């Protein structure tokens, strides 16, 4: 469309120039003025034809204007805006410590060895091998004696711990106290056991 307008404008100017030359005497000054005017208009029209029309030019101009306006006070605005407060993550409640694992029979044997030494432990090992085979759930069907040390009645072992029914370490602690209090040493208890039949201590 612009190219059509440019062609029409150029033709009109040509006609105008020709009319002026016919109606007025041509002088060097007038010809130069007409030629300059014609050239300027032609260049203007040519620039409109060549330069693409930016439909968003107005919007861009407004945007630039707003940006420049905001830029004047941007420093003060940035200083007055408080940084967003950091959101603290919720603290998970502390978990209760896991219960200690149940001691094994090997743990109980090691404990007994550490308490009375190797010589006395050899006698103790023989005694409790015959009494219960180191079984914390062993029960005498006749007397009701219970556990590794064959406590009679079984409830006596409650003095060493309330878990006496299943904890071999608790039973061994009670058995060592019983032997120390009644016989003095494990070897003395073993000798007593050998001298009595049916065997007991």
- What whole-number distance in Å separates Cα of residue 27 and Cα of residue 8? 27
- What whole-number distance in Å separates Cα of residue 185 and Cα of residue 176? 9
- What whole-number distance in Å separates Cα of residue 31 and Cα of residue 17? 9
Confirm if 160 and 173 have CB atoms less than 8 A apart: yes
Q: What is the pLDDT along the chain (201 residues), one digit of tens a residue?
A: 545 555 555 555 565 545 555 554 444 444 444 445 444 444 443 443 344 444 443 444 444 344 444 444 444 444 454 555 666 677 878 888 888 899 999 999 999 999 999 999 999 999 999 999 999 999 999 999 999 999 999 999 999 999 999 999 999 999 999 999 999 999 999 999 999 999 999
How many other CB atoms are there within 10 angstroms of residue 200's CB atom?
13
- What whole-number distance in Å separates Cα of residue 159 and Cα of residue 170? 9
| Max intra-chain CA distance, the chain | 163
- What whole-number distance in Å separates Cα of residue 15 and Cα of residue 30? 16
């Amino acid at each position: 469309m612009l190219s059509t307008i440019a062609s029409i404008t150029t033709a009109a100017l040509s006609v105008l120039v020709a009319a002026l030359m016919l109606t007025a005497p041509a002088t060097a000054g007038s010809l130069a003025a007409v030629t300059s005017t014609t050239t300027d208009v032609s260049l203007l029209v040519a620039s409109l034809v060549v330069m693409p029309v930016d439909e968003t030019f107005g919007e861009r101009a407004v945007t630039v204007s707003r940006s420049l306006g905001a830029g004047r006070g941007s420093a003060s605005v940035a200083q007055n805006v408080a940084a967003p407060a950091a959101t603290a993550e919720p603290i998970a409640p502390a978990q209760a410590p896991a219960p200690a694992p149940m001691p094994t029979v090997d743990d109980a044997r090691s404990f007994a060895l550490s308490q009375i030494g190797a010589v006395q432990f050899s006698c103790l090992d023989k005694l409790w091998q015959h009494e219960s085979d180191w079984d914390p759930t062993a029960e005498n069907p006749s007397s009701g004696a219970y556990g590794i040390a064959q406590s009679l009645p079984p409830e006596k072992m409650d003095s060493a711990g309330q878990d006496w029914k299943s904890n071999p370490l608790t039973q061994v602690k009670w058995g060592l106290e019983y032997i120390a209090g009644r016989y003095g040493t494990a070897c003395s208890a073993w000798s007593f056991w050998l001298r009595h039949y049916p065997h007991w201590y």
